[in-house]
Structure 1
Amino acid sequence: MSTSELIVFIVLSILSEIFGTIGGFGSSVFFVPMASYFMAFQTVLGITAIFHLSSNITKIGFFRKGFDKAIILSLGIPAVIFVTVGAFLSKFLDSELLTLGLGFFLILFSLLFILRKDLKILPTTKNAIFGGALSGLLAGLLGTGGAIRGATMSAFDFNKEKFIATSAIIDLGIDLSRSIVYTYNGFVQKEILYLIPILLVVSILGTYIGKLILDKITQAQFKRLVLFLILGIGAVTILTNI
């Protein structure tokens, strides 16, 4: 990566962290398609998992006013189990197919919630388990499953701090599990290790800025903007890989 490309990468990574913090979906929904322009998709999976480890630790530090233990267990345990399954499967699937799959997923998800503003997921343990399993599987395969987890958690009507802290704790388990599998798969390469300290700083800066913005606006207002951004990213991801 040239110096100019690295600068663009860092700026876009900070924006991904800001949008991910405010939208409540996590930064990977923006970071994965963005990073795919700079490196191979399977390499992106590896660096995203490591980036997310520091990102989630940062979020837990900034939003530590409480978390929901029941959701961590009912949603988090299936997520950790299925992210391991998805991470192993990612080694056997074509990277271009996975990239296109990511694009279609982003478009379908964003359109669903843009067109169906009244869409609600019932706050049941069964739905929490299913949402955790699906979000974990997608995180392992495509690098991002936070959108599904966020949609599932929104049914439980948490305040912003509790929502983000609970999601970050679950995501921490997800990222730790898939980091181990991705490293085993050979996705974490020596050539990209220099990005880890850079992304650590990015995660702290982006989360801090996101928190400042989140304190001044409602989450509902910004989440709608985030949905349109996800839609655009999904469309660009597909068009550039056809």
Structure 2
Amino acid sequence: MFKNLNILFLILALLAEVIGTIGGFGSSVFFVPIANFYFDFQSVLGLTALFHVSSNLSKIALFKKGLDKKLLLYIGLPAVLFVIFGGWISKFFTTYLLEVALGLFLIALSALFLIKKDLIIKPNKREAIIGGTLSGFIAGFLGTGGAIRGLTMAAFNLEKSAFIATSAFIDFFVDISRTVVYFFNGYIHNHDLIYVPFLFIIGFIGTYFGKQILSYISQANFKKISLILILLIGIITLLNSLFKI
């Protein structure tokens, strides 16, 4: 059984989890492009959803005291509704154009917040609902919507524990929802299940190490690191899409 495992992929998955915890928006933004080098896109979606369940359970356990219940409702509810929709229609459409659009969107928005350091979006329902809707739909359709949610939550200037706890709670419900949709879409394949126990363990270990590193990072640096990581994710997503041509 173990001879069929790709150890490098598991090491990269652990790195994605650590960075995703530090950034506060989850590991899928790195995990999806990494997994895409090793598996077909449907398998990537299925594995990502299963991986994130354990990842978010560990974040909830470690950061639950910082939960922002208002954002959980305003961002989480539309995210769950639209992840179901995005996951369902993913089997009908090519993802190429959306991957390019996602890369451009992440680059533009993260660059805007990095350049305009004093730019603040007022923490009201409209921005939260729009961010939740977009992040849920993209998560269902492309497998990664955490960076969009991260951009939305970064604009609200949450304290880092509140940021991670709220993001993890939202992501948990999103992942449960899309796992069901992906299962009925046929994206969860028997030959990929060998990785699931290892990814569950990696989810907990990566979150733990990410939290330890996070304790040495100030609030100001935390937001800057989150935005820089999102910018890099956007560049990786765009380049990965263009090289598929």
TM-score, reference length from structure 1: 0.91
- Residue 234 of structure 2 corresponds to residue 226 of structure 1: no
- The one-letter amino acid paired with 2:177 is S
Partner of 1:237: 240
In the TM superposition, residue 222 of structure 1 has moved relative to its aligned partner by 2.5
Residues 51 and 200, structure 1, Cα contact 8 Å, conserved in 2: yes
- Residue 160 of structure 2 corresponds to residue 160 of structure 1: yes
Query: Cα gap change, 1:238/1:225 in structure 2, threshold over 3 Å: closer, same or farther?
Result: same
Partner of 1:80: 80
Partner of 1:57: 57
In the TM superposition, residue 157 of structure 1 has moved relative to its aligned partner by 2.9
Structure 1 residues 8-36: Cα deviation after superposition (integer angstroms, max 9, x where no partner): 10111011111111111211111101110
In the TM superposition, residue 104 of structure 1 has moved relative to its aligned partner by 4.1
5+ residue gaps in structure 1? none
* In structure 2, distance between residues paired with 1:118 and 1:5: 47
Q: Which moved more, 1:138-147 or 1:105-114?
A: 105-114
Query: Cα gap change, 1:168/1:114 in structure 2, threshold over 3 Å: closer, same or farther?
Result: same
* In structure 1, distance between residues paired with 2:5 and 2:154: 36
- The one-letter amino acid paired with 2:63 is F
* In structure 2, distance between residues paired with 1:53 and 1:108: 29
SS at match of 2:19: helix
- The one-letter amino acid paired with 1:223 is S
| Aligned sequence identity (%) | 50
Taking only aligned residues, the RMSD between alpha carbons, in angstroms, comes to 2.3
SS at match of 2:144: coil
* In structure 1, distance between residues paired with 2:40 and 2:234: 22
- The one-letter amino acid paired with 2:19 is F
* In structure 2, distance between residues paired with 1:124 and 1:231: 26
* In structure 2, distance between residues paired with 1:57 and 1:176: 11
* In structure 2, distance between residues paired with 1:87 and 1:31: 18
- Residue 39 of structure 2 corresponds to residue 39 of structure 1: yes
Partner of 2:216: 216
5+ residue gaps in structure 2? none
Query: Cα gap change, 1:232/1:157 in structure 2, threshold over 3 Å: closer, same or farther?
Result: closer
Query: Cα gap change, 1:184/1:162 in structure 2, threshold over 3 Å: closer, same or farther?
Result: same
In the TM superposition, residue 161 of structure 1 has moved relative to its aligned partner by 1.2
* In structure 2, distance between residues paired with 1:115 and 1:86: 32
Partner of 2:121: 121
TM-score, reference length from structure 2: 0.90
Residues 136 and 145, structure 2, Cα contact 8 Å, conserved in 1: yes
Q: Which moved more, 1:23-32 or 1:226-235?
A: 226-235
For these two proteins, the number of residue pairs brought into alignment is 242
In the TM superposition, residue 109 of structure 1 has moved relative to its aligned partner by 4.4
Partner of 2:207: 207
* In structure 2, distance between residues paired with 1:4 and 1:229: 31
Query: Cα gap change, 1:3/1:229 in structure 2, threshold over 3 Å: closer, same or farther?
Result: farther
In the TM superposition, residue 148 of structure 1 has moved relative to its aligned partner by 1.5
- The one-letter amino acid paired with 1:10 is L
